[in-house]
Amino acid sequence: MTGDQIIIFDTTLRDGEQSPGCSMNTREKLEVARALVDLGVDVIEAGFPIASPGDFESVSQIAEKFGDRTTICALARSREDDISRAKAALVSAQNRRIHVFLATSAIHMEFKLRMDKQQIIERAVSSVKSAKEFCDDIEFSPEDAARTELDFLCEVVEKTIAAGATTVNIPDTVGYATPNHYFKVISYLKQNVPNISRAVISAHCHDDLGLAVANSLAAVEAGARQIECTINGLGERAGNAALEEVVMAIRTRADYYGVHTKINTQRLYPTSHLVSTITGMKVQRNKAIVGQNAFAHEAGIHQHGMLQERSTYEIMRPADVGYVGQNLVLGKHSGRHAFRDRVIQLGFSLDDAAIQRAFDDFIALADKKKEVYDSDILALIENRLSDAADRWRLVSFHTSAGSSAIPTATLELQCEDQPVLCDAAIGDGPIDAVFKAMERIMELSARLEEFDVRSVSEGKDAQGEVRVTIDVSGRHFQGKGVSTDIIEASAHAYLKALNKADHERRSADAARLSPQT
Ligand SMILES: [Zn+2]
């Protein structure tokens, strides 16, 4: 371990979840929170409790379940009702933090808040003091800090530290900063805020210019000791700084940065996969660290070098990030014991019932497909994880199609433990017919915006992964499904997306607030 520890503050469940189409329900958030705890993040920003009853519920359940293993943080605007909701949501967390924010840039003060500088400072100070009555660990963010006049930023930071803030976060809310500029902002604070050593400086960068990770690292060089980031760089617009990139840059270039994190890097790839499955948001193939091609060396000259000495072209080993490739592991005759061992090696901690369900799926898959790869097993487990949270499930489907037939689909769906519902529809093709029948049963009308198929592993008998994005009354929802049968995978993906729309229809979450930090 080298030098100072960098605090990894994960905001996948708050800032990341605000990404269009990526909303998660409470059970899904709990799954992600569990993965983040296993990954070893220092702080989980679990949500914005005042935003909606659903947000409040998620934060309080995460606080209750994981608040003894990591710090659980709740976001609040600088308003008394926000802060008291955050306090109520965090009550059962042993380690808790309230994150208060208030805009300080001229453009926000003038157009959004209609407050002058003195009023801003008074509001920020009184909010920090109020939060401090509940817990000692308080973070304050001057929203849009990267565009805030420097001397005013220093004044706000100094006064909020004096009021009790233990972390001061400097958000580049709109993704406007560049590395050198951001370095100078953080350095200026270090030099000009007299009490700065009493708080941790935090970086929060957005990727609008593709600079979020670079800016976060520049902040570390200037003395920041917390980085706010999300798995896969999830987040509104171009997203936030990607946790896996920040962590691996710090680790791979420890020689240069001279700092370290507590992240268990072998959990990066499985966690990335889980978040992608639950949100439906795909990870691009050439994404750094966790993309499918991140460790593929195809150029002939590279392969030659790699065979002689891996470090010639490889700065990280796939195993360092828990990369799961095309390893052929198991076949039809592999026993339950071998399967369980493999699941544990892949980084999942499932209870006996969950292992049994996954094993049954595995046997069914091995019947259809000769060779089962690690990536297949990952897909099976993730399928089960993401299905558990849904109200509607697919009981059966039948399709008929051909060059001279009208494509039709007959479908059985069940909502919780109510009677099974059956309906049929015709469509442009069998998949379209399945989608239409599903909408009829669930009484939802959706527009398909994106439809994407890829194979999970190799061979003609490979499992197909289907991802869909749908539009229901102007809101976007994503879903993913995996099967050796493309129609079945499509049905699962569409049902997943419709389940999300159904969840939102039933809760008050449609009107939730989305903070800009
Ligand atoms: Zn943000």
C-alpha 257 to ligand 1 mean position (Å): 24
- Per-residue model confidence as pLDDT tens digits over 277-309: 888 888 998 999 998 888 876 555 555 555 566
pLDDT computed for residue 364 by the predictor: 87
- Per-residue model confidence as pLDDT tens digits over 224-273: 999 999 999 999 999 999 999 999 999 999 999 999 999 999 999 989 98
* Ranges 15-24, 66-75, 379-388, most confident: 66-75
Residue ranges with strand state E in 137-210:
138-143, 167-172, 200-205
C-alpha 364 to ligand 1 mean position (Å): 43
Q: What is the mean pLDDT of the chain?
A: 89
pLDDT computed for residue 350 by the predictor: 77
C-alpha 64 to ligand 1 mean position (Å): 25
Return the higher-pLDDT residue of 162 and 323.
Answer: 162
Return the higher-pLDDT residue of 305 and 69.
Answer: 69
Q: Give the mean model confidence (pLDDT) for residues 143-162.
A: 91
Q: Give the mean model confidence (pLDDT) for residues 68-91.
A: 97
pLDDT category of residue 310 using cuts at 50, 70 and 90? low
Helix (H, G, I), strand (E, B) or coil at 203: strand
C-alpha 327 to ligand 1 mean position (Å): 38
Helix (H, G, I), strand (E, B) or coil at 44: strand
C-alpha 197 to ligand 1 mean position (Å): 24
pLDDT computed for residue 476 by the predictor: 87
- Percentage of the residues of the chain whose pLDDT score is greater than 70: 92
Return the higher-pLDDT residue of 343 and 419.
Answer: 419
Sign of CA dihedral 229, 235, 240, 242: positive
C-alpha 192 to ligand 1 mean position (Å): 25
SS (HEC) of 440-491: HHHCCCCEEEEEEEEECCCCCCCCEEEEEEEEECCEEEEEEEEECCHHHHHH
Is residue 316 within 8 A of residue 254, CB to CB? The reply is no
Q: Give the mean model confidence (pLDDT) for residues 29-53.
A: 95
pLDDT computed for residue 103 by the predictor: 84
C-alpha 209 to ligand 1 mean position (Å): 14
- Percentage of the residues of the chain whose pLDDT score is greater than 90: 62
C-alpha 430 to ligand 1 mean position (Å): 42
C-alpha 100 to ligand 1 mean position (Å): 13
pLDDT computed for residue 449 by the predictor: 93
- Per-residue model confidence as pLDDT tens digits over 322-370: 887 656 567 777 788 888 888 877 767 778 888 888 888 888 888 888 7
- Per-residue model confidence as pLDDT tens digits over 449-475: 999 998 887 778 888 999 999 999 888
Instruction: Quote the pTM value.
Output: 0.85
Place of tokens 């697919």: 394
Place of tokens 């499930």: 393
C-alpha 90 to ligand 1 mean position (Å): 21
For residue 318, what are the contacts with CB-CB under 8 A and spacing of at least 6? 295, 325
- Per-residue model confidence as pLDDT tens digits over 469-506: 999 988 888 888 888 899 999 999 999 999 988 888 88
C-alpha 273 to ligand 1 mean position (Å): 22
C-alpha 516 to ligand 1 mean position (Å): 6
pLDDT computed for residue 407 by the predictor: 95
State how far the Cα of 231 lies from the Cα of 228, in Å rounded to an integer: 11
Return the higher-pLDDT residue of 506 and 141.
Answer: 141
Is residue 500 within 8 A of residue 23, CB to CB? The reply is yes
Neighbours of 375 (CB within 10 A): 22
pLDDT category of residue 32 using cuts at 50, 70 and 90? very high
C-alpha 146 to ligand 1 mean position (Å): 12
For residue 150, what are the contacts with CB-CB under 8 A and spacing of at least 6? 185, 188, 192
Q: How many CA atoms does the CB half-sphere of 116 hold within 13 Å?
A: 1
Instruction: Flag whether pLDDT at 192 surpasses 80.
Output: yes
Could you tell me if residue 112 is left (phi over 0), alpha (psi between -120 and 50 degrees) or otherwise beta? alpha
CA 18 to chain centroid: 10
C-alpha 171 to ligand 1 mean position (Å): 7
pLDDT computed for residue 311 by the predictor: 65
Q: Give the mean model confidence (pLDDT) for residues 76-84.
A: 96
